Structures are given as structure tokens and as C-alpha cells.
Amino acid sequence: MTEKDSRRIFYFMGVNFTFMGVQAVYGYLTDSLGLLSDSIHMFFDCVALAVGLFASVMSKWPPSERFPYGFGKIETLSGFANGVFLILISLEIMFEGFERLLEGRETKRLRELFIVSTLGLVVNLLGIFAFGSHGHSHGHSHDHGHSHSHGHSHSHKDHDHDCSSHHDHNHSHGHGHAHSHGHDNENMHGIYLHILADTLGSASVIISTVLTYLIPWSGWDPLASFLIAYLILITAIPLVKSSAQRLLLTIPADTEYNLRNTLSEITNQRGVASYSVPKFWVDDGVSSEAGNRILGVIHVAAIRGADLEEVRDRVQSYLGKHGIDLTIQMEREGDTTCWD
Amino acid sequence: MAPRSLAPPPISITPVIHTPDDGSDYDLDGGDDDNIQVDLDYALYDHKHLLTPDRDSFYDPNRLSPVAPTFQINDYSSPSNMTSNSGGLNENASPIDIPSSSNGAPNPFNFQTQVISTSPVKPNVGQRRGHKYKHSSISAQHQIFQEPPPRPPLALPRDLPIPTVKEAWKSMSKDQRRRLYWCICHGVIAISVFLSAHGSLAMTALSHLVLFDVGSALICVAVEVLGNFEVWKRSSIRHPFGLERAEVLAGFALSIFLIFGGFDLVSHNLKHVLEGKGGHSSHHPDPHEGLAPRVPPGDVDMASLAAIIATLVSAYGLRNHARISKVMRVSYLASLPSVLSNPFHFLTLSTSALMVLLPLLFVPISVLLDSTICALVAMAMFALGLRLAIAQGLMLLMSYGGRSGSGSGSPGKNKDVGVADVMREIEAEPGVERVDEAQFWQVHYGLCMANLKLSVAKGADDAALSRLRARVTSLIQNRLGEGYGKGGSLRWEVSLQLGTAGTY
């Protein structure tokens, strides 16, 4: 799946890069400023794509001593970076548009601009179609990240649990399996948004050029770019938000609910006196199997007379049933050497 | 009086009709505000009144008490609500504890009213008093109210609310507010530098740098303000490490800004160069071409000077960039004095100093020089932003890089100990057979986690294991944590899962 993604990014990057080269050479030969500056823009797009490609490939790398949890988060990171970048760009475009609106600088060389932006639109539309099927399912990337983990944690549980959780399980199953790869989409979403922004940018230039041609007013171009920048902004903000939450290791709301239930049952396990400092985080593992497993740490105090290892095994298998893999530090009840 | 839904048999008997006269009698006995309670209580253990056919007979329009109507309406809710609400305010003051021999007593209400009047009456006005039924004789007989089964206390960490802007504003101390105001000043300076650029690329570059400083200063203030709240530091289920990681994330976003700024400057610069070269400049009058320079030679560039001052104030007053620069030490700047050793301050200060000095030294800022400075700054921004993004991205990727390799360099110092060395040391501990799993990672600037699964020799008792735990914990803290002398404190949270060999 992700390999397919990275191949797609790679192909599109190739197309982009070639187009950039053609633009630059032709622009240099014909001394056309519009073409040259557009090729600079293309170059930045290529860089963004390269980062996305890198992240997509890197997310496959196995965990190591340096990276004990693998590179599952890198795609989220790349998505976050792309989102922040887009927000900054849209703010800049807005600012420039405002400036131009005030100065009333007139747009020149309409024909050249028109041709360049049409070509850009074609290339970007190609990208939209390449990523389009992906991008659409990614509109709700935040949601299925949740629902999947939800379904996952319940799928082991529904044998021995009450009907409310069973209901939840059924409910989430419908979502959960349609988009099983909850963890790799922030990167693709970011790239998709980037290409979308470019496409809209070219479209806006085309429309504003036509409008300026028909009704000569210098305000068309700033107005169009303002509008586009706003669109980019509102699409990038949800991406930044959702990826930020994952990077902050925030537990999604419904997973949290299950976790609370699971946790409160721990003290009912035989031999457990209490527990302290429970910390959980969602693992965006390497293999899709391990995706959305919950990892964490807990310190469990055993009652006097219980075998520590036995209690630990019991707690571990109990948690394992709920899809939680913890490092369990065993302590004796009343032992005060434990920190916190 | 008993809840109708339960329909205990006596209700259907209906021998007595409650008259308004009775009610007015009680009123005379009781206090003004308490009479309802008296009524009720009386009814509760006097069967005559329990048997009243309809509750409306209790409601006497002649009574003066303002409490009466609301109370009556509220009181006839479902029994499940009553149980859930048991344990209200008045439980101890309840007159029901008096034995039900009150049938014989001629006038028990005097005493009860006194008891009630000691308890605060006012706060009860809006509350239900259904819990009284729980103790009444009838519910005791019919087992209507069941005690909830004993549950283990929930030791779950509380869910802490994230403060809103308003709360954050209220929580700010005077000092913090002053810092925020300074940040705003700094921002104004950044904007004024930007506006005073007038097409000068070098000044635009400087304004980008100052803007980045402002962003970082704002993060410093925000971190301090959020530190007023518990959710920042305290672990909860939702935020297992508090919100402190947000600082790293914000820093990462800022480093993206730096990279973006670098890109932006480069593209502007290229455009300028192309425009100049392409001979289109006739269409596009450049403000900095020929005519009047931005700052006349020999004059002081006020904008750049303000940038210098603002940077210095932020550096000393807010300790701007302090935490970030700790993550990434730039070796070739380390020998410089304190402020300059910070790459961010170094960059801003040197650029703005250059901008101040050049006009003073009567060096004309030509287009070429202008774009060269801009290109240099852009490159520096880009490189710095990239390094910063990598340093913080690694932290966000849940990794621990340690410090500059393992073992090599100055021996005997803690500084160059890597994870691999520590692992070797742990394996060398007596009692440890091997390290099965080890995860070292940095959560945020001040906290690292080490989660280890160790195999220990068979037959170790509790005390030995506890001692081993303490030893390994202090070993990790000592080797990888920063010493106290170095200013910052890097805390390690160590969790050890010990098991005898072969039990995994």
C-alpha cells in the first residue's frame, strides 16, 4: 500500500521535475520572466514532494536502538510540516494580494501568463488524478484513525464483555476495515493538499487573466489569489490539527474511553493492590498489523504474599486481550522506592 | 407520600383525609421556613399521613411558606434518582434518626424543628430531599432502596481540562504579563523593520529573522503561562505526558517557518536578479535602484538598531531560544560569548549589525551587495531551520539520540555516554542476565523515558529486585541525564519489567 503510494509520489515528482526543467530552459531561451518564476515555484513543489517521498519510504524502516518505536510517526510529521508550510504560503499570498490591491499594480503580459498557468494546471490536474482517489478517502483521515483503533481494541474483547461495548464494536467495524491504513495518510493528505493548492493557484491565474482581459481592472488577480489562499488555509488547518494531536501523543477520545474501562478493571485482577503512573500512547507501527496498538508504561503494586511474576503475567495477558502492550514494573504494596 | 410508581399496598387504603387545618397547626409549631420539612418528616413516620390518598392535600394554598410549591413538585421524582442522590447535605441533621415511637409522642415537632434549623436551610431550597426516604420506615420494610454494590475506588488519573484563552489570561502573573507585552513590542518592531525595507532584500531578510525571534519569544511566554495549569505537567490518560510536548511541536512549526522564510527569500531574490538581468526593469521601477538609498550614508538605521535592542532584550529577559539551542549545539559558535553562542541570536545580531554599520561606514548598498546579503541570510536560515527541524523532529519521532556518539572523545566524562554504553553497563550489573527489550526516548526538552525489560537470575527476593531497580534507575539518570551543574535538567523516567529468564 505505502509502496504504491511512494511510487505514485515518485512518478508525479518526475513529471513535475521534467516540467520544471522544460519551463526553465524555455523561459531562459525566450527571456520570459513568468516562465522562470513559475519554474522556481515548481522546484519548491518538487522539494515538498521529495520530503513526502522520503517520509513515505522511511516509515518502512524497522525500529532500532535510536528509534525504539520505528518511524511510524514520520509520515504524520511530514503531513504536519506540509500543513504548516501551506498555511504560511497562504498567509503570504494573502498579504501580497492585499499589498497589490492597495498598490494597484497592473498585470502585464497576459498571454504569457495565461499559457504558463494553463500548462501548470494540466500538470497539477494530472497529480490530482494520481492522488485523487487517495485524497478523497483522506478527507476524514482523522476519523478513521480513531475508528480503526477502536475496532481493534474491541475485536478481542467482545467475547467476555457487556453489550454496550459489543455495540460499539459492531459500529466501528463498518468504518474500520474500509480504511485500514489509518497511520499512513497524513503524509499523502499533505501532498494532496499541496497539489490541490497549486492547481487552484493556476486556475485562479487563468480565471483572473481572462477577467482582466474582458474587464480591465487590476483587482482581479489579487482578489482571486486572496480567495484561493483562504481555501488553502481552511483545508490545511484540519490537517495540522489532526497531525499535531498525534504528534503530541494524545489519546483519541474513544480509545481513551476504552482505556479507562480497561484500567479500572486492573485492580480487579487477582493479586493487584494498586497501580500508578499509567502512561499510554498509540503506536503507529511499521507493519499494518501493529498499527494503532497501544503501548505504554504502568507500575503495578502487588499485594503481600502474591508472586510478582504471576501477577505481572496475569495483568499482561489481561491487557494483551485489549490490545495493549505495556512495560509493567512490579512493586510490592507499601514499597516506597517507586518514584512518583 | 411514598413514590407512586412503587405502589406499596398501604397507599390504596386511604382512611384519612388530610385537612388544611392540620397543616396550619404544624406551621405554628415550626419555623417559617422549615415547616415543609416538618410536614414531610412527620408524614414519613406517621402512617396516618402516609396513607393520604393524594399528595395535593398536603399542598395547602394557605400556607405562607414560599418553599412549598417547588418542594412538592421536585420531590416526587423516580426512586432511582433518589438513590443516586443519597448522601445530600442534610443527612446528619435528619430528624428521622429519632425512633418511630413518635406515634406516641404528643408533639415531636418542636424538637425536630430545632434540629433542622441548625442546618443551613437556604442552600437547600432548590435541591431535592429525596434521600430522606431511604431511611424511612417504609422503605426499610420494603427494601426499596438498595445500597450500591461496593466498588473499588477508581484510581484513574483525572482528566484535566485544557485552559481557554480567557483562563490563561486570568492566570498570568504580573511578570508573565509584562513578558507578553514585551513580545508584542518585539512584534511591532519586526513589522516596522519589514515595512521599512522598501524593497531592500537584506532588510526583508532581517525582518524574517526578527519575526522568527518573535515567534520563539511568544512560545517562551506561552510555555510559562501554560505552566500555571496542571494539565501542562500532569499526566492524564488523554495526555500521557501532559502538554509539554506542545512546546517541541511549536518549535518544529517555527523551524518550518524558518525554512519557508529561506525559500521565500531565495525566490524573491531570484526574481529580482532575473528582472534586473532580463531588462524588464523599465516596466518595473525598483525603489532601490539608483535615486535615494534607504538610509542616507552616515546615518543610523533606526530599524536595524531597534532589531538589535529587541533581540538583546528578548535574549536576556525572556531567555529566548534557550531551550531550543540546548537541543542543537553548534560547535563552531560555542566558543563565542554567551549570547552569540546561540546560533539564532548570532544570526539576527550579525545581520542587523551589518545593516547598521554599512551606512555608517559610507558603504553604498548596491543591488548586488543587497542580494548577496539576502542570499547569505536565506542560506543561513535554511540551514538553521533544517537543523532545528531535524532536532525537534527526532524528538517528535520518539527517539533518543544521546549525545554525540558513544564512548569516543573525552573518556571519564558523562558527556559522551550513549545508549549502547548504558545498556552494556546494565547487563554488567550483578543479577541481570540480559536486557530483553530497551526503549530509550525523549518526550520533550525536560523528560526522557527508558522502558526496559530485563531478565534476572532466578531466586532473587523482593528486596534484591527493589535494590536492582534503584541501581539501574540511578545508573541511567547519572549516565544519560544532565548533571545539576549544567543548568537544564533532563529527567529520566525509568520503568523496569523484571522477569526470571525464559518467562517471556
The reported pLDDT for the residue numbered B253 is 92
HEC string of B412-445? CCHHHCCHHHHHHHHHHCCCEEEEEEEEEEEEEC
- 3-class SS string, B85-127: CCCCCCCCCCHHHCCHHHHCCCCCHHHHHHHHHHCCCHHHCCC
The strand pair at A324-332 and A293-302 is best described as parallel
Q: Given this model, what pLDDT does residue B289 score?
A: 45
Shortest CB distance from A259 goes to which of B237, B396, B498? B237
∠B329-B333-B337 over CA atoms, to 5°? Answer: 110
In this prediction, residue A170 carries a pLDDT of 35
Q: Which three cell numbers stand for residue A280?
A: 499510554
What pLDDT is attached to residue B51? 43
Q: What is the pLDDT of residues B350-408, one digit of tens each?
A: 888 888 888 888 777 777 888 888 899 999 999 888 988 888 888 888 888 765 433 33
A240-249, B52-61, B225-234: lowest mean pLDDT where?
A: B52-61
Contacts of A312 in chain B (CB under 8 A): 497, 499
Question: B260 touching A, CB under 8 A?
Answer: yes
Grid cell locating B367: 543591488
Q: Which residue has the higher pLDDT, A137 or B426?
A: B426
Give the total residue count for chain B: 504
For B5-36, write each residue's pLDDT tens digit. 444 444 444 444 444 444 444 444 434 444 44
- The whole-number pLDDT of residue B293 equals 59
Phi, psi of A82 (to 5 degrees): -60, -40
How many CA atoms lie less than 13 Å away from B56 in the CB half-sphere? 0
pLDDT single digits (tens) B287-336 = 444 445 566 666 777 888 888 888 888 888 877 777 776 666 555 655 66
Chain A closest CA to B265's CA: distance in Å?
12
Q: What is the pLDDT of residue B9?
A: 44
Answer whether A67 sits within 8 Å of B397, measured CB to CB. Answer: yes
C-alpha cell at A317: 495477558
Q: State the pLDDT at residue B335.
A: 62
Q: Is B478's pLDDT higher than 70?
A: yes
- Chain A contact for B481, CB < 8 A? no
Interatomic CA distance for residues B256 and B390, integer angstroms: 10
The distance between the two most distant Cα atoms of chain B, rounded to a whole number of Å, is 116
Which chain B residue lies closest to A69 (C-alpha atoms)? B398
Q: Within a 13 Å sphere around the CA of B62, how many CA atoms are in the beta-carbon half?
A: 12
The count of C-alpha atoms lying within 13 angstroms of the C-alpha of A334, restricted to the half-sphere facing its C-beta, is 5
Contacts of B99 (CB under 8 A, 6+ apart): none
The CA-based angle B14-B19-B20, given to 5 degrees, is 145
Give the strand pairing for B432-444 and B447-456. antiparallel
Measured in angstroms, the CA of A133 and the nearest CA of chain B are apart by 28
Q: Which three cell numbers stand for residue B407?
A: 564512548
Pick from A122, A286, A135, A120: nearest CA to B397: A286
Which set of grid coordinates corresponds to residue B361? 561606514
Q: Poorest-confidence range of A77-81, A88-92, B236-240, B338-342?
A: B338-342
Q: What angle do CA A18, A24, A25 make, to 5 degrees?
A: 90
Do A332 and B155 lie within an 8 Å CB cutoff? Answer: no
Give the strand order in the sheet containing A272-283: A272-283, A293-302, A324-332
Q: Is the pLDDT of residue B128 over 80?
A: no
Cα separation, B89 vs B124, in Å, equals: 8
- B18 phi and psi angles, rounded to 5 deg: -80, 130
Q: Which regions of chain A are under pLDDT 50?
A: 135-183, 287-290, 338-340
Among A279, A246, A288, A285, which residue's Cα sits nearest to residue A143? A246
To test the contact with chain A by mutation, choose from B243, B267, B451, B494 the residue with the greatest count of A C-beta atoms within 10 A, namely B451
Query: Which of B388-416 are b and which e, b meaning 16 or more Cβ less than 10 Å from the residue's Cβ?
Result: bbebbbbbbbbbbbbeeebeeeeeeeeeb
pLDDT at B158: 61
Pairwise CB contact (< 8 Å): B497 & A312: yes
Residue of B nearest to A340 (CA): B493
Least confident range of A149-153, B206-210, B306-310, B442-446: A149-153
User: What is the percent of chain B with per-residue pLDDT over 90, rounded to a whole number?
Assistant: 6
**Residue B138 vs residue B471, higher pLDDT:** B471
Q: How confident is the model at residue B446 (pLDDT cuts 50, 70, 90)?
A: confident
C-alpha torsion sign, points A28, A34, A36, A42? negative
Mean pLDDT check: name the lowest of A35-44, B97-106, B434-443. Answer: B97-106
- E strands in A81-184: none
The one-letter amino acid code at B333 reads: L
Q: Which helix (H) or strand (E) holds A300?
A: strand A293-302
Q: How far apart are CA B402 and CA B416, in angstroms?
A: 8
State the ipTM, two decimals. 0.79
Closest chain A residue to B245 measured between Cα atoms?
A: A248
CA dihedral B292, B293, B298, B300 (to 10 degrees): 120
Cβ-based burial of B55 (10 A; exposed 0-12, middle 13-18, buried ≥19): middle
The pTM of the full predicted model, rounded to 2 decimals, is: 0.70
Nearest to A312, CA basis, from B500, B102, B434, B275: B500
Name the more confident of B93 and B146: B146
Has residue B123 got a pLDDT over 50? no
